[in-house]
């Protein structure tokens, strides 16, 4: 009997060994094929990798946009691409992902989100041959992480979210909505800029329309970048008390706003990318998402990579660019915009939108980008405590 047991244990051990031996041979096989692919891919010496922040590449927002843009570029130029997901939300884990990617041979790393400032501060100088393209990391983020000037192999882009927020708020009020809501993710600077811009836009539109006393904005941060029961409950309260439209501003938190909105035929405004298609698919309601406050993440990734491949890295090296409105006449080239291709608003038309953009461009409208305090307004703004 004992022998039988010993036998079975041995058997299991052998099985495992076989599995691993199998692994070994397979992996060496695939390595060699990869090597072959490498030599034929003479297009470029670059290999592109992306590291996700606290979210995933399916967040329908920041990570996903960056991922898709970088991947599309890599495929177009037939270079290798892979994304890396840190084991947890910490600098240490992000550094591990970075070094992992570098060890795998990737030399262009795209990192979306302010969270990466700490990682960049620690690795950039150790890996001068690796190009790092950061999105949304501000000067403040870097200095906070202990890096005052960026090394040559790093560039970063920030956006004037307050402009996108302003446009969304302005459009919503002009369209005729009076009871507005702002649902932020976590109270990080980018989200605050969106929010304060939204409030300023709504205020200016109401002043122009002369109904400032009727327009009201509920304002809250969820404290997280995803929706859950507590957030949905808050949204339910808002919508059932008359809120008509909510600017859901923070990663996956839009799900809570959408769930609540569908119950009472409310509306939402998307963020970062044109979310109308996604939301329409997800909730089966084409009119749910009225518009989106977009920033041109995909455009940035594409343009930067293109320039890098074209040998124009020096335009970016060591710089932090603050992207906003670059054209008063063609809104589609701007890095902050509303989606004109899926325009659904009737009272506020694309022509009105173009006029707004040109005013923003020429400075006849200025938007405050401070994140210190809620802007003073004539409309009433009701601030709620963070949900989480």
Partner 1 sequence: MEKTSFFKRPAVQTLLASVLCAILGIILGYIILCFMNAEHAGEGMAAILTNFFKYRIASTNTLMKYMGSFLVKSVPVILCAEAILFAYKAGLFNIGVAGQYTVGIIAALYTSLALGWHWSLCLLATIVAGAVWGFIAGCFKAFFNVNEVIAGIMLNWIGLYICNIILGGEKCMNQSKSETFEISDLNPAGLLPGFLQDVFGGNQYMTIAIPITIIIAIVILVVLNKTTFGYELKATGHNKEAAKYSGMNAKRNIILTLVISGAIAGMAAGLYYLTGVEHFKISSSVPGMGFNGIAVAFLGGLHPIGAIIAGLFVEYITLGGQYLNTNYYNPQVADLMISIIIYLCGFVLFFRTILNRPGKVKVNANAEPNKTAKKAEEKEV
Segment 369 to 388, residues that bind partner 1, using CB under 8 A: 388
The residue (of 215 and 248) whose beta carbon lies closer to partner 1 is 248
Q: Does 187 bind partner 1 (CB under 8 A)?
A: yes
Nearer to partner 1, 350 or 370 (CB): 370
What order of strands is seen across the sheet that includes strand 267-272? 336-337, 289-295, 267-272, 245-249, 179-184, 216-221, 380-383
Closer residue to partner 1 in complex, CB, 259/352:
259
DSSP string, 265-308: T-EEEEEES--HHHHHHHHS-TTSEEEEEEE-HHHHHHHHHHHH
Q: Does 9 interact with partner 1 (rule: CB under 8 A)?
A: yes
115 binds partner 1 (CB under 8 A): yes
Minimum CB distance to partner 1 smaller for 197 or for 266: 197
User: How far apart are alpha carbons 238 and 216 in whole angstroms?
Assistant: 12
CB of 282 to partner 1, least distance (A): 20
d(CA 253, CA 228): 8
Q: Residue 250 carries which DSSP code? A: S
* Contact assessment for residue 231 and residue 253, using Cβ atoms and an 8 Å cutoff: yes
Per CB under 8 A, the list member of 10, 19, 264, 376 interacting with partner 1 is 19
- Minimum distance of partner 1 from residue 22's CB (angstroms): 5
Site string for partner 1, 226-265 (x = CB under 8 A): --x-x-----------------------------------
Phi then psi dihedrals of residue 9, to 5 deg: -65, -45
Can residue 7 be called a binding residue for partner 1 (CB under 8 A)? Answer: no
Q: Which is nearer to partner 1, 92 or 362 (CB)?
A: 92
Question: Strand, coil or helix: what is 260?
Answer: helix
Which of 62, 73, 84, 170 is close enough to bind partner 1 by CB under 8 A? 84
Among 7, 14, 24, 263, binds partner 1 (CB under 8 A): 24
Distance (Å, whole) CA 185 – CA 183 = 7
Beta carbon nearer to partner 1, 91 or 274: 91
Burial of 116 (0-12, 13-18, 19+ CB in 10 A): buried
CA torsion angle for 29, 34, 36, 40 (degrees, to 10)? 160
Told to check if 97 binds partner 1 by CB under 8 A, we report yes
Residue from 327, 60, 339, 368 nearest 195 by CA:
368
Given strand 108-112, what is the order of strands in its sheet? 81-84, 48-51, 108-112, 131-135, 154-159, 320-323
CA dihedral (325, 328, 333, 336) in degrees, to 10, reads: 30
Nearer to partner 1, 69 or 212 (CB): 69
Indicate whether 27 belongs to the interface with partner 1 (CB under 8 A): yes
**C-alpha to C-alpha distance for 203 and 17, rounded to whole angstroms:** 69
- Of 308-347, binders to partner 1 (CB under 8 A) are none
Pick the piece of the chain touching partner 1 (CB under 8 A) from 98-106, 295-303, 310-318, 345-353: 98-106
* Owner of token pair 């299991």: 12
Question: Which is closer to partner 1, CB of 53 or CB of 204?
Answer: 53
Q: Kindly indicate which of the ranges 182-190, 201-209, 322-330, 348-356 contains the residues binding partner 1, using the contact rule CB under 8 A.
A: 182-190
> Considering the rule CB under 8 A, would residue 90 count as an interface residue with partner 1?
yes
Q: Which stretch binds partner 1 (CB under 8 A): 86-94, 280-288, 346-354, 373-381?
A: 86-94
DSSP 3-state helix, strand, coil percentages of the chain (rounded to 5)?
A: 45, 15, 35
Q: Which is nearer to partner 1, 86 or 339 (CB)?
A: 86
* Cβ atoms within 10 Å of 24's Cβ, excluding its own: 10
The least CB distance from residue 189 to partner 1, in Å, is 6
Q: Among the candidate windows 181-189, 205-213, 241-249, 298-306, which touches partner 1 by CB under 8 A? A: 181-189
Decide whether 228 or 352 has the Cβ nearer to partner 1: 228
Radius of gyration of the CA atoms of the chain, in A: 24
Which residues sit at the interface with partner 1, rule CB under 8 A?
Answer: 1-2, 5-6, 9, 12, 15-16, 19-20, 22-27, 30, 81-87, 89-90, 92-93, 96-97, 99-100, 103, 114-115, 140, 144, 186-189, 223-224, 228, 230, 388
């Amino acid at each position: 009997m004992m022998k039988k047991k010993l036998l079975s244990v041995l058997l299991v051990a052998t099985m495992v060994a076989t599995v691993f031996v199998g692994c070994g041979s397979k992996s060496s096989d695939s390595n060699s094929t990869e090597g072959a692919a490498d030599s034929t891919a003479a297009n470029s010496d670059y290999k592109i990798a992306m590291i996700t922040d606290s979210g995933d590449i399916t967040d329908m927002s920041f990570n996903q946009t960056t991922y898709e843009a970088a991947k599309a570029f890599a495929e177009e130029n037939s270079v290798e691409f892979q994304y890396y997901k840190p084991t947890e939300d910490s600098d240490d884990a992000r550094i591990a992902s970075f070094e992992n990617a570098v060890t795998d041979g990737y030399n262009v790393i795209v990192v979306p989100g302010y969270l990466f400032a700490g990682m960049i501060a620690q690795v950039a100088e150790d890996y001068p041959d690796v190009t790092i393209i950061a999105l949304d990391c501000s000067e403040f983020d870097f200095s906070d992480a202990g890096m005052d000037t960026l090394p040559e192999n790093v560039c970063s882009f920030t956006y004037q979210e307050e402009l996108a927020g302003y446009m969304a708020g302005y459009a919503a009020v002009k369209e005729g909505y009076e009871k507005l809501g702002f649902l932020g993710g976590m109270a990080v600077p980018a989200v605050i800029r969106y929010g304060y811009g939204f409030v300023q836009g709504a205020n200016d539109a109401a002043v122009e329309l002369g109904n400032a006393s009727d327009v009201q904005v509920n304002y809250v941060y969820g404290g997280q970048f995803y929706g859950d029961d507590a957030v949905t409950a808050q949204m339910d309260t808002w919508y059932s008390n008359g809120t008509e439209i909510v600017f859901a501003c923070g990663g996956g938190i839009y799900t809570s706003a959408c769930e609540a909105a569908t119950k009472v035929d409310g509306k939402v405004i998307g963020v970062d990318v044109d979310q109308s298609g996604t939301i329409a698919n997800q909730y089966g309601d084409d009119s749910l998402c009225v518009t989106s406050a977009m920033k041109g993440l995909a455009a940035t990734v594409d343009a930067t990579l293109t320039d890098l491949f074209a040998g124009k890295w020096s335009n970016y090296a060591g710089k932090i660019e603050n992207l906003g409105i670059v054209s008063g006449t063609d809104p589609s080239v701007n890095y902050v915009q509303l989606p004109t291709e899926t325009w659904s608003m009737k009272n506020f038309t694309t022509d009105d939108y173009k006029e707004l953009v040109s005013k923003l461009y020429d400075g006849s409208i200025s938007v405050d980008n401070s994140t210190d305090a809620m802007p003073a307004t004539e409309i009433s703004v009701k601030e709620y405590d963070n949900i989480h």
